[in-house]
Amino acid sequence: MAREKFPATQAIRILRQRRVDFSLCPYRYEEKGGSSAAAKELHVNEHLVIKTLVMEDDRGGPLLVLMHGDKKVSTKALARTLGVKTVRSCEAKGAHKHTGYCVGGISPFGTRKPIRLCVEASIMDLPKIYINAGKRGLLAEISPGDLEKILHIIPVSVAI
């Protein structure tokens, strides 16, 4: 059986460079389908599919938030936790500018520049997660512990 070829995204390069044990999980991307469509395609619990959300604080400073696919972010709680007045979602154009990735394919690995990274604390208790590998329709299955090994994370409890 021939091995399937995947694009070498910046996220995949970083994971390989840092010697992270991961598996690529391609799925049929559905416009505006989000984590529920990915979970359905991959036959996994949506709670294990981790969204990478690009946000900005009241001063326009970018931040990434990793959240369970079946949860939302309380921006009020996040702002309080970070000690800023407000936090809001970034527009698609701003998200691309900050990360170098297109919406639907944003990964916390290999962003254009270092960005503050908040991770819902309960994600770290999961045995494995599915997180974007830098391209629409492609997730990486990894251990949450690897997030801590290769990224500077800020654990937060802001899930709704």
In the structure, what pLDDT confidence band is assigned to residue 20 with cuts at 50, 70 and 90? very high
CA angle 104, 140, 48 (to 5 degrees): 80
Question: Structurally, how many domains does the chain consist of?
Answer: 1
pTM across the whole model: 0.93
Residue 143 scores a pLDDT above 90: yes
Reported as a single tens digit per residue, the pLDDT across 59-112 is: 999 999 999 999 999 999 999 999 999 999 999 999 999 999 999 999 999 999
DSSP state of 121: G
- Residue 132 confidence (pLDDT) above 60: yes
pLDDT for position 32: 86
In a domain, 21, yes or no: no
- Is 121 a domain residue? yes
Q: Cα–Cα distance between 63 and 53 in angstroms, integer?
A: 8
Q: Domain containing 149 — which CATH number? A: 3.90.960.10
- Whether residue 133 contacts residue 118, with contact meaning beta carbons closer than 8 Å, is answered with no
Q: N- to C-terminal Cα distance for the chain?
A: 44
Assess if residue 100 is contained within a domain.
Answer: yes
**Inside any domain, residue 56:** yes
Q: DSSP H helical segments within 54-123, as ranges?
A: 75-82, 92-99
The domain in which residue 131 lies consists of 33-156
Tell me whether residue 130 is in a domain: yes
